[in-house]
Amino acid sequence: MTAWIDPDRKIVSRYVAQLRLGSHARFVYTQVLHDFQAVAERRRVVDRKTLEVWLREWGAHRKRSTLLHRARIVDRFLDQLVELKLITSNPIAVLRSELNVKQCRPIWQALASRKPDQALAALRRPKPFGSVLGDIMREHIERMRKRGYRYTTQAAWFLRFDRFLQANPELASEPVTTMLEHWATARSTRNHAAECEKLKHALTKALRQRDPSVPPRRLDARAQNEAARHFRKPHIYSPADVQRMLEIARSYPSLRFPLRSATLYAALVLAYCSGLRRSELARLDLGDVDLRNGTITIRETKFFKTRILPLTDTVMAELRAYIDARRRAGASQDLESALFWNCQGNGRYTSTAIAWLLVDIIRRAGLKPGIGTGRTGPRLHDLRHSMVVNRMLQWYRSGINPQDRLPFLATYLGHRDINSTLVYITVTQDLMQEASERFRVVGARCLACVEGARP
C-alpha cells in the first residue's frame, strides 16, 4: 500500500470540493487530510503503522472524541483513494475483514490506544459459520431462504451455536448430540432451553439434507410452554387510556415540526383501530390509502403477506383530515411517498422513530414509567393486543359468536392462521364476564331442553 504522490495537494482539494461543505467544515477537512498526507509522505506507505503514527502525533493535544471524529474523515478519504486506484486498500477495511468487525470506530479506538496489538486482539470476533458444523448450517439457511422463508430468527440461533462451537474447539470431534448437550448447559435460562429445543429441531433438518439416514426429531413444546408461562403479560388499554393518549398526541409539542402532532395522532389511530405493527406504519405510502373505498393496503409485511383492510368511517375521516394537513404542510403528493411524512432525511419516519414517539405519548399519559426505568410498563405492541381483546368484547356484546369470526380476524391482522391470533387474546375481567354470560344463556336453554325431555 504505497503512498499516493500528490505534492500540490490537488487530490485533497478535489475531494473536499465534491463534498459541498460549509466554509468551516471545508477548512477542518483540508487541515486534517493535509496533516495525514504529510505523515504518509514521510513514511512513503499507507498502512496500519502510518495510521498509528498520525493518531499519536495529531491527537497529542486533542480530545479523544475530536480525534475519532477526524479519524473518520481520514477513513472516508482512504476509501476514495482506493476507488481512484491510488492505493491498493484501506488499512481500516483490511483490519475490519481480518477481525470480523462491522464498525470502523472500534478499529480507530484500538489503534489510538497505548497497546494497539492487545486492543485489536480483543476486538476479534469469530468468523460466521467457521465451526465444524458451519457449512451445514449455512447451506440450510440459504436453502430455506431460497424457498421463500426469511429465516432470520433461526439464522440467529445457528450463529450463536456456531460461536459456541468455535469458543470450545475441543467439541469438534464429539458427536452432534454431545455438542448440543454442552450448548444446552451453557446457560440456565428458560428462554435458552426453549431456543435449544428449537435449534435441535432445525439442525436435525439440516443434517438430514446431507444424510437421510439421520432420524427425524419431533419438536418438544414443553420448554417453549414453560418459557411462555413467564413471558411479560400484555397490558390491555381501556377506551379511556386510548382517549387520553389521543388527546396527548393531538397536542404533542414540536415547534420545529408542526405536522408531528397530526402525524402521531393518525399513527396512533391506525395502531389501535387497525392493529398495525410499527413497521407496517412506517412503510405505508400515500397511495396505500384509498379514500373512496375506505380501505388501506398493507404491502409485503410479516410472512410476505399483502392485505387490504377496510376501515370504519371515523378512522377514514381522521385519515382524510391528516392527508389534508399533510398537503398543506408541503409534503410530497407522489403516491409512493411516505404517508407519515417527515421533512428531514428521506421524508419518512423509521419504525424506530415511530416507536419512540408513540412510547413517549404512553409515558406522557401516565401509563408507563419514565425513561431509565427499564423495560417496564405497557408496550407499544400492546395496542395490537388491545385491539383484539376489545374486538372480541364488541362481538360478544353484539351477540356474535367470536369463534366464527376468528379466521377473519387472523386475516385482518396478517397472521398465517388463527393459532397466531389466539396469542393476542388476553383473558380480562370484562372478556371473562361476557363469555360467562353467553355460556349461561346457552347453558340454560340446553338445560331446559334436557329437563323437558325427562319422563
pLDDT tens column, 19-71 = 888 899 999 999 999 999 999 999 999 999 999 999 999 888 888 889 999 99
Is the domain of 168 the same as that of 70?
Answer: no
pLDDT of residue 448: 60
Q: Among the listed ranges 104-113, 165-174, 339-348, which one has the minimum average pLDDT value? A: 339-348
Is the domain of 163 the same as that of 258?
Answer: no
pLDDT of residue 303: 64
Task: Name which residue leads in pLDDT, 122 or 343.
Answer: 122
Percent of the chain with pLDDT over 70: 93
Angle at 212 between CA 210 and CA 214, to 5 degrees: 95
- Domain boundary residue, one of 171, 203, 228: 228
Do the domain assignments include residue 389? yes
Average pLDDT in the chain: 89
Is the domain of 199 the same as that of 261?
Answer: no
Do the domain assignments include residue 3? no
Q: Which residues sit opposite 307 in a β-bridge? A: 298
Is the domain of 368 the same as that of 286?
Answer: yes
Residue with cell string 395496542: 383
* Biggest distance spanned by C-alpha atoms of the chain: 114
H-helix or E-strand spanning residue 290 = strand 289-290
Number of domains in the chain: 4
Is the domain of 67 the same as that of 148?
Answer: no
Q: Closest Cα partner for 379 from 234, 260, 266? A: 234
Query: How many beta carbons lie within 10 A of that of residue 97, not counting itself?
Result: 10
Is the domain of 326 the same as that of 414?
Answer: no
Angle at 124 between CA 180 and CA 129, to 5 degrees: 40
pLDDT of residue 309: 94
Residue 450 has pLDDT above 80, yes or no: no
What is the pTM (predicted TM-score) of this model?
Answer: 0.65
Do the domain assignments include residue 149? yes
Do the domain assignments include residue 1? no
Q: Report the distance separating Cα 3 and Cα 429, nearest Å.
A: 74
Is the domain of 193 the same as that of 280?
Answer: no
Long-range contacts of range 346-351, CB-CB < 8 Å, 24 or more positions apart? 348/282, 349/263, 349/282, 350/282, 351/278, 351/279, 351/281, 351/282
Do the domain assignments include residue 182? yes
Positions marked catalytic:
277, 302
Do the domain assignments include residue 274? yes
Q: Report the distance separating Cα 236 and Cα 382, nearest Å.
A: 6
Do the domain assignments include residue 233? no
What is the signed CA dihedral for 13, 19, 20, 21, rounded to 10 degrees? -90
Contact 414, 308 (CB under 8 A): no
Over the stretch 357-415, which tens digit does the pLDDT of each residue have? 999 999 999 998 877 666 788 999 999 999 998 888 888 888 888 888 889 988 898 88
- Domain boundary residue, one of 379, 396, 431: 379
Is the domain of 348 the same as that of 276?
Answer: yes
Rg over CA atoms, the chain: 30
Q: Among the listed ranges 147-151, 197-201, 212-216, which one has the minimum average pLDDT value? A: 147-151
Residue 194 has pLDDT above 70, yes or no: yes
Beta strands in 7-138 (DSSP E): none
pLDDT of residue 438: 66
Sequence-ordered list of residues with C-beta below 8 angstroms from that of 379, at least 6 positions apart, any chain: 234, 235, 359
pLDDT of residue 182: 95
- Domain boundary residue, one of 203, 228, 253: 228
End-to-end CA distance of the chain: 103
Is the domain of 360 the same as that of 259?
Answer: yes
Do the domain assignments include residue 76? yes
Q: Which residues sit opposite 296 in a β-bridge? A: 289, 309
Is the domain of 368 the same as that of 433?
Answer: no
Is the domain of 262 the same as that of 368?
Answer: yes
Contact 361, 245 (CB under 8 A): yes
The conformational region for residue 343 under phi > 0 = left, psi -120 to 50 = alpha, else beta, is alpha
C-alpha cell at 441: 344463556
Is the domain of 338 the same as that of 306?
Answer: yes
Over the stretch 304-336, which tens digit does the pLDDT of each residue have? 678 999 999 999 999 999 999 999 999 999 999
**Residue 220 domain boundaries:** 134-228
- Mean pLDDT value across residues 231-258: 90
Q: Report the distance separating Cα 396 and Cα 385, nearest Å.
A: 17
Q: Closest Cα partner for 195 from 182, 179, 177, 183? A: 183
